[in-house]
Every structure is written in structure tokens, then in C-alpha cells.
Structure 1
Amino acid sequence: MSSEHKKKILLCGDVEGKFNALFKRINSVIRKSGQFDMLICVGNFFGINNKEFDDYRLGNKKIPLPTYILGPNKAEHLDMYPEEDEELCTNLFYLGKRGMFTGSTGLRIAYVSGISCSASKESHNYDGTDISELFDLCVRGNPAFRGVDILLTSQWPTRMATESGKVMPNFASNLPNWLIMKLKPRYVVSGLEGKYYERPPMRIPTLGDHDSTVEIATRFIGLGRVDNSDGEKWLYALNLTPLDKMKLSELIQKTTDETPCPFNFDDLQNEIFKIKKSSTTQQYFYDTTPIEEPKSKRQKREKVVFDQEKCWFCLASPSVEKHLIVTVGDHCYMALAKGGLVEEHFLVCPIQHYQNRVNQPEPVTLEMEQFKKALVKFYERDSKVPIFFERNYKTSHMQLQVIPIPKKAQRELKEIFMEEAEANGFSLSEVESYDRLEDVLPPKTPYFVVELPSGSVLYTTIKGNFPINFGRDVLCTGPILDLPDRVEWKECCLSKEEETALVERIRTDFEPFDFTI
């Protein structure tokens, strides 16, 4: 990842009116390490005595970088804050009660101010409604929401300490925990406890079809009070690339010190919102068996429950073989096909779980087209052209198969596919130039579709049995690739070491054509 996207951030614990000590230290850090993009303060920014603030408010002293603070945690501090988020003095900004901050850094920073409460909410409190509205604000207008870079809460989330007796927080709440599971922040930063504590990263699970986030490792940092006498660390530096500027393969990369998520989403839903069971913890996919008209006494077919944990193609799933991944875009990724027909046999798949191209959102389809155009140029270097085909039958995750053939082998290609289809008991139709694939394929109907180098698109809807390896079978025939011994993918598998070496070579070869870099 290019260093131009990295942002230098300073995080600070409770200031409690010690403004001179804070900015003296900040100036010292800047002299040694260069300028930072921003300073973020959690916990109590104001204290019992705030006389030092007058010099900054009046312009007699300057704050050396843009500084952002959360709202009050005590009723007696309310008078120090404006009604809405605004600049308190030059370079000092009040973020507000809750919201999402991006600014010029590109970082996505969610925040909630104050102390949680369940009744008699005052101006320095927040409750379940506030965190629900904050989540809605973060995802609104962003169907491909991945998560946030930082979640700021002055109050610690519960169950953060992994060592018994290490830290016993006085102000912990389970409301931030719900936000952690929904927003998947890379960092959670809190204050108020006067203790420094950095938790080993935890992997937050995805919550179903409506959760577009990925399982990003979340790190918790609790910071001490400014200039404390106990030696508790109160200033923390981050060099962070914004989430939206990172490849998904980087975001989901495992770390050696990961720990399990210490809380359960259904329990949090029940505890906070009194919802007994989450409706988002399961994923479903369409049953691809042809639909029959229900008879009067026939029971309605139940939906098939899809287990994302076992999906080979969901990029956030532990089952996916990540060493096969060549490159990752915003919505799709390209991987080496396991047991490929040829060395440069690829799969282009959506990152999130969509059964087929008819059901996937337009941004996914558009990026898939970008991959296809890049692959056309990639194969051109060896005087080859790609065949693209998809089988929406006995599959649960959309896979676009991409297989190159020599240019000279495309002669009579359409006729070969049609003849092979007739030999297998079905026919292929050609999509007319004025039609879209979505216009001829109903969303719940099983189908096979192949795109030829000539631009012709052939398809069939599937009724009854269908030859699983049809696309591969046709390409193996003598007139095209003449590889009759490579029809079955299981017999073509390489060792993991061979696959890894091949992917490394392909990444290098594909780099000039890779639009995701």
C-alpha cells in the first residue's frame, strides 16, 4: 500500500484541564517525529480548573495541530461545550454527541460521547437509541459499507480485559460492544479509567446477509490521564491507512496474537433492545431446484440455510483458501481456480455472498466487467483470448470462470458449444444485442451462460439434471484445447506450495493490468 495514503494520528486520554502539559508534549513529539494529521482526545477534556484554556481561547497560545474532542461526561462540564459541534478555538474542534467524522484525512471515525444510561437520560448521557441511530448514520447511503477505522467512546466497552484483575473499569458499558459488532472498527479508543491498556486484537464475526462488513481485526486501546503521576501511558501514535484505501486482503489478514470475540451479538440485542433473537445471524440462498406450482396439500418448501463459515468463496469466511487470491478490488476478487484447466484459469467472485450475477448489486457487476476487460488485455500478451462462463446450478456463491484459449482456437466456437449442448439434451440460446442478461434470466432460475471472444453470449435455463462440468468439457475438446485428461478438476490439483508459487508469479505478471492497485 502506498505511503501517500497513510495518516499520522495522535490519540490522547483524559486531559482534565492540563492543556499546557498536553500541548507541550505534542510539540515535543512533532519536533522528533514530524507533523501529525490530527490529535483525538477521549475521556474528560475539561477538568475542575480550566484557567489554562483561556490562553488558547484568546489566541495567546496556539494548538499545534487540528485537535478533536468528545462531549462531556459530567453534568458540571456541560457549560464548557457549545450546543452543536463547532470550533472552540483555533485548531480545537468539538465533534458533538455522536456521529461519523471523515474530514480531509479520509479516515472513517465514528464516535459517541458521554456515559451510557438506561433511564432519565441527561445531556451527558447516551442510550440504545443513540447507538442505533449512530449505526444508521454510518451505513446510510453506503451499500458497500466495510466498517470504520476508529470508534471513539470515552466510556470503556465491557469485557475488554483479557487478563483477570489486570484492569477493573468503573465506567464500562455494553452499548459500545454492540457498536463494535455492527461497525467492525479497526481501533476502539476509550478513556475515563485513568489506566493504559491495549488489548490483543479480536476478530468480530459478520452478522449475516445484511452485514456488508468483513471480519476486520479490532484492537482496543484504553488511555491514561494526561501528565499522570502513575506512569500510565496517555499518548498513543498511529500511522494508519484509511480503510477505503486498503485492499480487502490486507484488512482480513490474520495476526498471530488474535483472541476470540468476547461477546455475543444476540445477547447484546436482548440486553440492550430486548430482542430475543437476532434476525441477522443467518444467511440464506435461493433453492435452485425448479419451482413447481404448489398443490393444495403440499407443504411450503423451507428456505435452505446457508452457512457462510463453510463457503469456499466468501472472502471473510475461514474456509476460503486465501493463498489462491491474486488481487482484490472494492467489490470483487480474482483467484486462481483450484484444479485449473490451464495455469491461468481464474475465478472472479463477489467479495460478499451473492448467488449469481442476476442477484448481485450493480457496483459488483460493474467491477466484474473491469476484471474482464483487464483479463482480455492480460491474455493478449500471449495471443490468447478468454472464455467467461457461469453456472448458477448447485452453487451457492457466484463464480465467473475465466479460461484462456489460443486465438486460433476460437474458430467455430459458437457452433461447438451449441452442438455439445444438443448432445447433452438441451439447447443454448443467444442473447440478442439489445437485451441484457438480466432481461432473459429470471433471478431464481438456475442457468448456464458463456461469453465468447466474438462477443456472443449463449445461455440456457436449467430444468432437471445438467452436466456440472459442461463448460470445462467443451473447452477440453480437440478443436479447442485438446485436453481430455483435464476434465475433472480434482485430478488437476496442485500442492499448496505449487499453488502459492504459481499465484506469486501470476501476481507479478498481472500487475501491469491490475486496476485495483
Structure 2
Amino acid sequence: MSEVKILVACAAEPTLSTVLEKVCQVSEKSGPFDCIVILGPALNDVKDEIPVKMPVPTFFTNGSKLVSDEAGSISIDENSTLLNGIGIYQLSNGLKIGYLTGDENYLRQNEDEILSLFSKQENDGVDLLLTYQWSEAIAHGSTSSAGICLVDKVVKLLMPRYHFACSEKNKFTELNPFQWNETSSITRFLNIAEYGSGAKWAYAFSLSLGLNNDGLKIDNLSPNPYLQSNGKKHRLEEESTRLPSNIKKFRQILPEKCRFCFSNPDVEDHLIISISEHAYITAAKGPLTMPHGQMDFSGHCLIIPIEHRTKLVADTNDITKTPTYTDMESYESKLVKMNFEKFQMSTIIFSINSENSVHFHKQVMPIPNYLIGKFVPALDRQVHFNNERNPTNAKLNFKEFQGKKDLNYLEFINDPQNNYLQFTIFENSSQPPKVYVASFDVSKRIDLQFGRRVVAFMLHLPKRVKWDSPVCKQSKEEEQNEVTLFQKSFKDYEFEKLV
């Protein structure tokens, strides 16, 4: 982990020479800086000479208009680079800069290309995001700046550690940092005023590369404005509902409206991998895991009972004797065997068994065998975030059982009053799994993404926590290809009789 020193300033073309002289003086006294960033409409033409020879790598943005028809990074001289339009620039020391500049018309016309470019940064994000405009979420609390929606989308994709804008040229703004639930990463927003405005026109800071803020205690955190704006737009997600039990709406969803029921005319049957008498397997919508090694598909799938069940409970005194449970367990065993024998992958299975769910199911995720030892620390970390940082969430306390034949475990799952989250961890296909179960108060909110958060942390894939995140979305053609590859590998196990 290395620390870099950065200086960010804002200049217009008439003041550029003065600004560069001043930042060089600052660099001599307070530096040396590892890089300097000049925001604002400082350059009129890419062929213009930089009036001052810069001692360190210096990056210029183009304000609200393109300096060149060519978008991307353009070298001007030995230490000067223009970041024109949109792109990602990574320095040799690892510092990663994302930039999004140009007028609203340019951004609107190129929105698909912009989102496609930045969605490729799903695993790493950026250290700095440079934009001309503010986002709508940030501008919502401002009386002057309007903000544009595309900036919101880019910020959500990249979760930058620092976001700098400069459209409010007469005002310096520094907001309190805010946190992203998915990763615990921190973002800071600043608007740098233009030199000569009378407001603060330069900002110096240090940044530790590779540090993602985990474990840091920051006292002045503000609510995340990007999460607040979505607070009333919850959709049915991959796992279950998270409404309190006194709200009956989701508990009354009929099979013909359920996304997992065959009686729904809109069911996405192109995702189906295998069907048995009482259960079926479908490829996960917006998979968390990604192709790895010899596994050329994500491997993330769902095991779903065919019968519309909000909760898996026993029709008799023993749930393990029910046909639905038996079919689901058979599929589970075959998937575990395929993952390990063909791909040397361990398997994590997560489920939420709650009377407030829409349709019970299990998520099955292959994990590189060498990473499975990270499960318990990842689980403990997420439990801490859930219990300590989210006071409205149901408190979770996981108990470990040695396999599914543990008598205490069987007693627990056969109690129809229990609502619980469960992880089943298969290190390989020959040993019994370890089972981790946490019961919860059904009247409390539960985090639908809890299971994905744990696995995403293990795999270093923070941007893939939510199934409907832009980085997880697949076209129908990509989904169909995923199913074809999955079926090709699973066919050797699908009809195997397991003892």
C-alpha cells in the first residue's frame, strides 16, 4: 500500500499561466505532489502549448466542451495530459482516474457508450472521478446547481473515493463523506471554484492506494444521497421481500404473478437449466460469480421449488421427508459434485426461509477452493455491519452446525415458527458441509443482499452485490449462452442417482 499526494485546482484559459505558476510554487513548498489535476476550461486547443513546464504528471480536463474530437487521454508534452471527454486513466503508481466531461448534449448522445465503458470497472472502481457537472443526487441539496442524471449513474457504477466537479465556478463545496452499503467504501464530493472567483480554487490531499476504508472509523459520515433517492423504489429482488410482517401485500402474490412460477406467462423460461418433479434449476439473473479457470460460465444458479411456497416448511413432522426438500437436496448435491470434480470449485449455498418471502429458493455459487477459508471472516464482517451500522435491520447471530444430519439443526428447521438465513458451505464434494444459520424477528427488516455481500467480499467483487446492478446485467443472448454452457457441464450429473 502506497500513499500519493495530489493537488487539484481549477482554472480558465485566461488564468491558466498564473494558476500553473502558483501550483508549482505550492508543489515546491508542500510537495512534491505525485500528480496535479487542473479542472475547468483551461485549454482551447489540444495544440496549445502549456505555458509552464510542469515538474510532475499534470492532467487537464476540458470543462463543458471537447477540446478535440478525439475522446480519451491525449499527451500534450512530457508531463502534461489532456483528459478529453470520457475515459479511465491509470498512472504507473496505480492511481486510477475516471473522467466525464463535455456538455449535456454530448453526454446524452454518448450515454450508452459511457455506461458501457465505466461498467467495465466493476471490480476496481476509481480513486478519482472528474466531472464538469454535478450529479442530480448531490445537486438536490443545492440552490444553484441543477446536476445531470448521467453523472449519478456513473458515480453509482464507480463509487469513486473522491468526486471532483467544477461547474459552480464561484463556489467551493466540500460535503461530508458518505458510505456505500455494498462495500463500506467511502466517497467524498468537492466542487473546486475557479481561480479569481474569490473562493477556494485549489485542494491538496493524500490518498492511500489500495485502501478501501474497511475498518476505518469516520465520525462525520452523512447519509448517502445516491441511496436515499432510491429509498421508495424497491423492487422484488432475487431473494425475498424485506417488508415488515404487518404489511401483507407481498405475502399475497399469486403464482401467476410470481417470477418463479410456471403459471406466470412472463416467466423467463430461457433461464431454466434443469427440471425435476418438484424443483428446478435456473441460471441466476444478474449473476454474482464470474467465469473462472476451466469454468467458462458464471455457475451462479438458483434451486427453486415448483410449488409456490413462500417458506420451506414440513407438511409432516420431518421436512427432510418431503418430496420438495428431497428434490432440492438432490440438485444441491449434484451441483456441488459438478463444481468440485470438474472445476475444483467449492460451493456456497444461501437461502432466506421467511414467511414474508415471495417464493423460497436457494442461491448456489461456486467459489475457488483456495478462497473458501475466507468465508467465516467475511460472514463475521457482514454481521458486524448489519448489527452495528444498520439499526433498523434484524439482528443476526449465526450458529454453526456440523452437517445437515446434526440433530440440533434438524430440530431447528422442523420448527415452522423459525424464520432464518442459512449458508451451507461445501469445501469439496466428499465431506459433509458446514451449516450456518441465523434466526430473525420476522417483523424486522432483513437485508436481501446479505448473502451476496458476504460472497462479493470474499471474491473482491463489490460492484456485483446487487443482481440488478448494471455490471451484472446480461442480454438475453448472454443469458441463453450461460444456460447452454451450464447444461453442457451439468448433463453428466443431472440424471445421476446419488446414494
Higher-Rg member (1/2): 1
If the length of structure 2 is used for normalisation, what is the TM-score? 0.49
The normalised TM-score by structure 1 is 0.48
Of structures 1 and 2, the one scoring higher in RCO (CA 8 A, sep 6+) is 2
